[in-house]
Homo-oligomer: A and B are copies of this chain.
Amino acid sequence: MEKNLSLLKRSALFLGVDEGEIESMLGCLGAKTQDYGKEEYVLREGDSPEAVGLLLSGGILIVQEDYWGNRNIRARIVPGQVFAEAFACVPGAVMDVSVLTDEKSRVLWLNVQRVLHTCPSACAHHSRMIRNLLSDLAENSLRANEKLTHISRRSTREKLLSYLSAEARRQGRAEFFIPFNRQQLADYLSVERSAMSAELSRMQRDGILSVDKNRFP
């Protein structure tokens, strides 16, 4: 659990809360961990989750599937990040996406409704948690906006460039890794995998970038 605590301390949700306080807040939030195997559903379209998930280890994908199994990847969640917070914060909101693991994962479920509905003075840390949740939702909104920037581009090449330069900027160096394989990247950018592969080849031929598996440049 020590390892988890250090992860929690660095997560957006527990920002500015020291380890001792985190433990008492976990009780307050009815925290429960749950383990999932590889490629297992964590939440399904149609669910109305009451708790937010905080990924402790592994990796999960937020995906949407249309009527004929065409899959669109909304985001990849890495350890320390929170998911389903918007649905958990809007009572009765029905998920139009599913959450599933990409690898063996462990999730910490936090019932934030308790924090939202009881008087903030009931627990000294409630207001801190609410403000952290607010920051998280705001950042979540900025991330969704960023994805909209990528997939609003008209051509596959522009989408790739938009995504890759954002990723390079985020990782803050010339060499960077992307958290997707080719099929997942195509599903993330809403393009066709083979066409995207071909485009990546042309971009390398044109000297715009170089790529070795998931390593750019």
List residues of chain A with CB under 8 Å of any chain B CB: 64, 66, 70, 72, 74, 85-87, 89-90, 93, 96-97, 116, 120-121, 127, 130-131, 133-135, 137-142, 144-149, 151-154, 158, 190
How close is A176's CB to chain B, nearest CB, in angstroms?
20
Contact B142 A141 (CB under 8 A): no
CB-contact partner of A86 in B70, B141, B147, under 8 A: B141
Bound-complex Cα distance A97 to B154 (A): 17
Instruction: Please give, as numbers and ranges, the residues of chain B lying within 8 Å of A139 by CB-CB distance.
Output: 86, 90
Bound-complex Cα distance A72 to B146 (A): 13
Instruction: Please give, as numbers and ranges, the residues of chain B lying within 8 Å of A140 by CB-CB distance.
Output: 137, 141
Instruction: Please give, as numbers and ranges, the residues of chain B lying within 8 Å of A137 by CB-CB distance.
Output: 134, 137-138, 140-141
Contact B134 A86 (CB under 8 A): no
Bound-complex Cα distance A85 to B93 (A): 21
How close is A13's CB to chain B, nearest CB, in angstroms?
13
Instruction: Please give, as numbers and ranges, the residues of chain B lying within 8 Å of A147 by CB-CB distance.
Output: 148
Instruction: Please give, as numbers and ranges, the residues of chain B lying within 8 Å of A85 by CB-CB distance.
Output: 138, 141
Interface class of chain A by DSSP? helix
CB-contact partner of A90 in B72, B89, B116, B135, under 8 A: B135
How close is A6's CB to chain B, nearest CB, in angstroms?
24
The 9 closest A-B pairs by CB, nearest first: A86-B141, A89-B138, A144-B144, A137-B137, A72-B152, A86-B138, A152-B190, A90-B138, A134-B134
Contact A70 B141 (CB under 8 A): no
Contact B64 A152 (CB under 8 A): yes
From A62, which residue of chain B is reached at the shortest CB distance?
B145
- Apart from A66-B158, A151-B151, what are 16 other A-B pairs with CB-CB below 8 Å? A74-B145, A85-B138, A85-B141, A86-B139, A86-B141, A86-B145, A89-B135, A90-B138, A97-B145, A116-B131, A140-B141, A144-B144, A144-B145, A147-B148, A151-B190, A153-B190
